[in-house]
Structure 1
Amino acid sequence: MDKKIMDVLTNPIKCKLFLEIQNCGETTAKHLSETFSDIPPATLYRYLKRMTNDKVLKIVNQTQVRGALEKTYAVDIDMTKDFKEILDSNSGEAYMQSFMQYIIGFAELFQDYCKRDDIDIVKDKSGFSLSPLYLTDEELEMLIGNIRDVIKPYGNNTSAAGRKLHSIGVIISPPKME
C-alpha cells in the first residue's frame, strides 16, 4: 500500500479530514474548520497542502472570496485500488508490507502519547487487548459486521466539549495452522 495513504490512515487528524472530504464529495477548508474546531487553522491548512501535494486530495474549484482564494477539495485517490491489487495478486509480501505500515502508524500514535509528560493511561482510556477465538468463517463475518455496526454511529461525531480524538484499530489475524 502506498506510504502516503498509510500516512493518512494512521494520522488521526489527516484521517478525519480525509473521511470528511470523502463523505462530502467536495468541501472547503472553511467547512472543515467549522466541522473540526479542535484543529488549529494553521495545522488544517498545512495538512490540506501536504495531502494535496501528495496527491491524496485534489483542488476541484477555486473561488475568490473577499480577496482570498477559497479552494474546494476532493479525494484524489482510489482507496480500494491498492487493496484490490494485493487481493488480486494474493501477494504475502505486499500484504505484510501493508500490515507493517499499519502497525508502525499505530506505534507512532502510542509513542507520541507515551512521550508526553501528562499521560494518564487509565483516565485517557488508552489500551489494547488480544482475544483468541475459535470461529467459523460465518461467525467471523458476523463478528466483523457487529464491530462495524457498533463503531458506525460514532463515525460522524465532530469535535465537541468532552470529546477527545481516539483511533480504534481492529486487526484480525490470519488463521493459525494447527
Structure 2
Amino acid sequence: MATADLLLHPVRMRVLQALFDADPLTTAQLRERLPDIPPATMYRHIAVLTDAGVLEVVGEKRVRGTVERSYRIRKEEAVVDPAARAAMTTEDHRRSFTTFTTALLGDFDRYLTQPGATPPEDGVVYRQAAVWATEEEFATMIEEIETAVLARAGTPTPPTPRTRHVITLIAIPDKPRKATDPE
C-alpha cells in the first residue's frame, strides 16, 4: 500500500484515474488522454508510480529504436495505507481532498470538451443527499454501495459495447463523531 503523498499528487492521481479499470496503456496513450501534462512530467510521474510498485509494466515493444511500455495499476498497491491515513493531519486531509476534487474537476472538464458530450443523455449524475444512520447502518450502506460498484467493475471479457463510467463516492459526516458523543 502507498502513502497519501504518493497517490494524491495531482499528476499521479490523474494518471491513476486514467488507468483505473482500463486496458493497459502506453505513455503515449496516457499523453493522449491527458494532453495538458508535459511529456517530461508524465514520464517522471509514471517512473515514480512504477518504482513504488503502484504501476506495473505489462508489455514492452520496440518502436523506432526505443522501448514502449504498457502499464496497468496494481490495485492492491494503489490504496493509501490505513496507518498512513490515520496519521494524516487535518491539513493533510484538506490538501488530499483538494487534490482529489481538482482531479475530478479535470476529468469532468475533459468529458465536457469532447465533441458530442451531452450530460443528460450520457448518464452524468451528481447529487448530494443527507442520510441519517447509526454507525452500523452507515457501515452497512457503504458496504452495499461498494459491493454494487465492485460487482460491475473491470473490463468486460470479451469486450462488449459498454461505456466506462467512473463512480466516485464521498461520505462526509455533518459533525465529527466526538462532537456528538454524549460522553
Q: Please say whether Structure 1 and Structure 2 have the same fold, judged by a TM-score greater than 0.5.
A: yes
Residue type matched to 1:132 in 2?
A: A
Pairing of 1:23-172 with structure 2 (within 5 A): 32=24, 42-43=28-29, 50=43, 52-56=46-50, 57-59=55-57, 75=74, 78-81=77-80, 83-87=82-86, 89-158=87-156, 160-172=159-171
Among all aligned residue pairs of Structure 1 and Structure 2, give the percentage whose two residues are the same amino acid.
18
Is 1:16 matched with 2:21? yes
- Pairwise CA distance, 1:60: 8.9
What is the CA distance between 1:114 and its match in structure 2? 2.1
Q: Distance in 2 between matches of 1:115 and 1:45?
A: 16
2:14 maps to which of 7, 19, 31:
7
| Distance 1:58-1:147 versus aligned 2 partners, 3 A rule | closer
Farther off after superposition, 107-116 or 132-141: 107-116
Matched pairs, number: 153
What is the identity, as a one-letter code, of the residue corresponding to 2:29?
T
Structure 2 unaligned spans of 5+: 34-41
Q: CA deviation at 1:150?
A: 0.8
**Shift in Å, 1:99:** 1.0
1:119 Cα deviation from its structure 2 partner: 1.7
3-state SS of paired residue (2:122) = coil
* Residue identity in the other structure for 2:133: L
Distance 1:53 1:163 in 2: 31
Alignment check: 8 A CA contact 1:58 1:76 kept: no
State the shift of 1:140 in Å.
Answer: 0.7
CA 1:69/1:90 → structure 2, altered by over 3 Å: closer, same or farther? closer
1:84 shift after superposition:
2.7
Could you give the per-residue CA deviations for residues 108-153 of structure 1, whole angstroms, max 9, x where no partner exists? 1111122234221111101201110111110110000100111111
Deviation at 1:174, TM superposition (A): 2.7
What do residues 85-121 of structure 1 show as CA deviations (whole Å, max 9, x unaligned)? 131x251111111111111111111111222342211
Provide closer, same or farther for how the CA distance between residues 44 and 103 of structure 1 changes in structure 2, counting only shifts above 3 A: closer
- TM-score, normalised to structure 2, is 0.63
TM-score (norm 1): 0.65
Unaligned 5+ segments in structure 1 are 21-31, 34-39
Query: How far, CA to CA, are the matches of 1:169 and 1:77 in structure 2?
Result: 18
| Map of 1:174 onto structure 2 | 173
Change (3 A) 1:166 1:58: closer
Aligned to 2:36: none
